[in-house]
Amino acid sequence: MPVTELLPIRDVTACCAPLTREAISVEDADAVARSLKALADPARLRIVSIVAAHDDQEACVCDLQEPLGLSQPTVSHHLKVLVESGFLTRSKRGTWAYYRLVPGSLDAVASLLTTV
């Protein structure tokens, strides 16, 4: 999936009602599907989970490569998808890039799916 197709999750949740309240429009379904696809990958779920479980919900890229067991370009690709889709932010400090969970981004997806 080209990252240019991604709409940040904050825009998705601003646009769309919960899935079960009324039949979702074609456009909203496209946007929500893109956000779910950004998460629907084992490596990206592990990245989000490692970052979220870290102190301050922030992790250095140097903390990710070894537990993931993936090449640096592969990790970079997944990080880029997660940043473009609004789940992580990236900041460079010294040698390393640090990735932080965007507060509320996972809850925003959850709120689209929840029925209660």
> How far is it, in rounded angstroms, from Cα 11 to Cα 7?
7
Residues ≥6 apart with Cβ < 8 Å to 62: 96
Is the Cβ of residue 34 or residue 94 nearer to a second copy in the bound state? 34
Q: Calculate ∠ Cα 103-9-14, nearest 5°.
A: 100
3-state secondary structure of 36: helix
Applying the rule CB under 8 A, the residues between 87 and 116 that interact with a second copy are 101, 106-107, 109-111, 113-116
Closer by beta carbon to a second copy, 72 or else 114: 114
Nearest approach, Cβ of residue 43 and a second copy (Å): 8
Within 2-61, the residues that bind a second copy by CB under 8 A are 19-24, 26, 29-30, 32-33, 36-37, 39-46, 48-50, 52-53, 57
Secondary structure element (H or E) that encloses residue 89, with its range? strand 88-93
In this structure, which amino acid lies at residue 105? Answer: S
Binding footprint of a second copy on the chain (CB under 8 A): 19-24, 26, 29-30, 32-33, 36-37, 39-46, 48-50, 52-53, 57, 67, 101, 106-107, 109-111, 113-116
